[in-house]
Amino acid sequence: MSTSEPQPLVADVADLKHCCATFYASDWARLLHGESLHPGGLALTGRLGSLLGLEQNARVLDVASGSGRSAVFLAERFGWSVIAIDLADEHSTAVVAAAAGAGVSDRVTFVRGDAEALPFADGAFDAVICECALCTFPAKAVACAEFFRVLKPGGRIGVSDVTRNGSLPDDLASVLAWVACIADAQPIAGYRSLLAAAGFAVDREERHDVVLRQLLEDIRTRLLGVELVVKLQDLELPGVDIAQVKSLARSAEFAVRSGVLGYGLLVGTKPLSASVPSVRLGPGFRAQPQPADTPS
């Protein structure tokens, strides 16, 4: 039987978070996904950055940043100061090294932290981005509320993530599928509702299903290579069930081809407030003032 509303299959939510963070910090994740851990790679990160429309020197938070590749790219391309935050402390060395290699150590820093309890003051950032990670958060509404809290009035939110259209088969509702950003993927309208409930005005939605299809094809090719090496060299991969991963990849590819799984991008704004300075937006991007609340 299929289920339209997958639920966490780990008794302790902390275990699920740790499982996700550990996987994406592993060599196995990098082997499967390549240098970029999200569909679309830096090209889609660049698209998201352009839609945010921030000025140079804007202060940006990259939530669930992984090794910091997007953070470094955004600092290089747009001149922003980016804080990369991730639950896995193992990413710290990678972020520091990547920033140094790109000559942006003064604009990229790493902080270990939880997206559902961001360790920053209210109104600390001009923008928050979250790429292919919101779907893995057990408390998505809490995370969105945290995004809203740490943004300045007029600040921008940019989210890209796996989307779902209809029910998922049982094999895409497992813990492995959850970690792989599939089991709790939301319809694009679901992400919009989460952001709206947190207080954001969503002003842009885009579908990028082709990038998910390409990533899955790349993963299938890499899996074949891994399987060949393991057989030829009689190797063992502790904790890795290649057959299970291949089965999940096949099911995900079928779901993409049939239109059940896709990939979407959403951009929105935190309403302005007269009491706090507004965010630094680039030319052509102007957040509209919100009407003041009417006293009851």
Q: What is the pLDDT of residues 61-97, one digit of tens each?
A: 999 998 899 999 999 999 999 999 998 888 889 899 9
- Report the pLDDT value the prediction gives residue 5, as an integer from 0 to 100: 39
- 202 pLDDT above the threshold of 60: yes
Q: Enumerate domains of the chain plus CATH numbers.
A: 13-209+263-269 (3.40.50.150)
Cβ of 246: how many Cβ atoms within 10 Å? 16
Q: Does residue 57 surpass a pLDDT of 80?
A: yes
Q: Give me the residue label for tokens 């299970």.
A: 244
CA distance 239 to 156: 40
**Going by C-beta distance under 8 Å and a sequence separation of 6 or more, which residues neighbour residue 178?**
6, 8, 9, 16, 20, 136, 184
